Amino acid sequence: MKNFKMKNFKINNLLVLMLAVIFLVLSMCGCAMKTSETGQLSKGTLKEATRDIYAMDTYMSVTAYGYGDSAKEAVDEAIAEIRRLDLLFSAVSENSIVYKLNQNGEAVLEGDSLEIVKKSMDIFEMTGGAFDISIYPVVCEWGFPDRNYKVPTIDGLAEALSKVGSDRIKLNEKNGKITLEEGQQIDLGAIAKGYTSDHIMDIFDTHNVTSGVVYLGGNVECYKMKADGEKWRVGIQDPLNPGDGASYLGVVNVNDEAVVTSGPYERFFVDDIGNFYHHIINPMTGCPSQSGLVSVTIVSPDGTLADALSTAVYVMGKEAAEVLWNEHKKEFDMILMTEDNKLYITEGLADCFEAKYECTVLK
């Protein structure tokens, strides 16, 4: 395990890449503000509202456009919803249902907690176990939740890994009773942001906003068309050439869809001999996934699915992901970058993806 290294990924590029992330968010907001000004000039009353928040362990931004107070009201409600779901789903906050379940080994789930766990179980099945919320004991072994990073011992990792397996969680979908096996713990970190952005789309709907976008860490979800009638342009970070120009591997043009990217650079540490360890764990090995992919983007109208699949596909690797996509073409599309710098998109994106590199369309 000490020899684990991520090929083709220069550690010093990672810092530059973090700056690129910030650049991309800023450029996205800049684009949105221009739209608002145009709207205001032509219609007089179209207003933009934007708020930023740090929640779910990441920076988030919510922007909406609407007439009267609709945008402001929608954004305020969205921020309250982010806070509410963060408190509910956090694995580290002592009042959350997830924390209580992990401590007691059983709980009664209802509403959002039941819905997200049910969906997590479905996606566990759908991905052949690549997405597994019971990964938490392993994630803790690597020190990711409290950023107290460490390379686990062989025994420590084996013990944690023996607890992993969503198929051993008992969930009664009718009454919400959930029972974990001894030592099992769950973590909704790979799906909670997608679930939250879907809820924000519903809030936008309720307030009749004319368009909006949320950025929750690596998750983007877009509501309707931009105020100028064009699709939203979402830049995908380039994990291999972070210092090069705008630092994106492409731009996807979407409306009413989520665009969720998982990459090793979102959270990682480097040990004292220079080995690189990231936070997307292969539930089969308990180690950071080395599937040959360096970036996975999922595009789907279902933000919850997109979030979970971005993690799962990263673990599965290109070939297994293609099989999955062939079975679920109507539900999602994907953009994959492999560690030999090749870019692949599925055919649903052929007309809406502007690639920086030559890319192969998967059919």
321 forms part of the interface with ligand ADP (CB under 6 A): no
311 forms part of the interface with Mg ion (CB under 5 A): yes
Instruction: Give 64 or 280: the residue with its C-beta nearer to ligand ADP.
Output: 280
> Of residues 112-171, which lie at the interface with ligand ADP (CB under 6 A)?
130-133, 135, 139, 144
335 forms part of the interface with ligand ADP (CB under 6 A): no
Instruction: Give 131 or 248: the residue with its C-beta nearer to ligand ADP.
Output: 131
Min separation Cβ 321 and Mg ion, Å: 14
196 forms part of the interface with Mg ion (CB under 5 A): no
For 76, 261, 264, 319, 337, the CA distances from 289, given in Å and listed in that order, are: 38, 15, 9, 15, 14
CA distance linking residue 250 with residue 14, whole number of Å: 19
82 forms part of the interface with ligand ADP (CB under 6 A): no
Min separation Cβ 20 and ligand ADP, Å: 15
Reading the block at residue 324, the tokens are 């999955």
Reading the block at residue 197, the tokens are 């952005």
Min separation Cβ 307 and Mg ion, Å: 4
DSSP 8-state symbol, 281:
B
Selection from Mg ion, ligand ADP, none that 316 binds (CB < 5 to 8 A by kind) is: none
From the list 132, 187, 307, 333, which residue makes contact with Mg ion (rule: CB under 5 A)?
Answer: 307
> Of residues 256-315, which lie at the interface with ligand ADP (CB under 6 A)?
262, 266-267, 279-281, 283, 307, 310-311, 315
- Which run of H or of E encompasses 228? none
For 139, 144, 156, 161, 279, the CA distances from 152, given in Å and listed in that order, are: 10, 12, 6, 11, 13
Instruction: Give 16 or 287: the residue with its C-beta nearer to ligand ADP.
Output: 287
The answer to whether 240 and 338 are in contact (CB under 8 A) is no
Selection from ligand ADP, Mg ion, none that 286 binds (CB < 5 to 8 A by kind) is: none
Instruction: Give 166 or 311: the residue with its C-beta nearer to Mg ion.
Output: 311
CA distance linking residue 30 with residue 46, whole number of Å: 17
Selection from ligand ADP, Mg ion, none that 299 binds (CB < 5 to 8 A by kind) is: none
Give the three-class secondary structure for 289.
Answer: coil
Min separation Cβ 78 and ligand ADP, Å: 18
Selection from Mg ion, ligand ADP, none that 61 binds (CB < 5 to 8 A by kind) is: none
Instruction: Give 62 or 71: the residue with its C-beta nearer to ligand ADP.
Output: 62
- Which run of H or of E encompasses 51? strand 46-55
For 29, 76, 226, the CA distances from 51, given in Å and listed in that order, are: 11, 8, 18
**Burial class, 342, CB count within 10 angstroms (exposed 0-12 / middle 13-18 / buried 19+):** middle
> Of residues 133-192, which lie at the interface with Mg ion (CB under 5 A)?
190
- Which run of H or of E encompasses 279? none
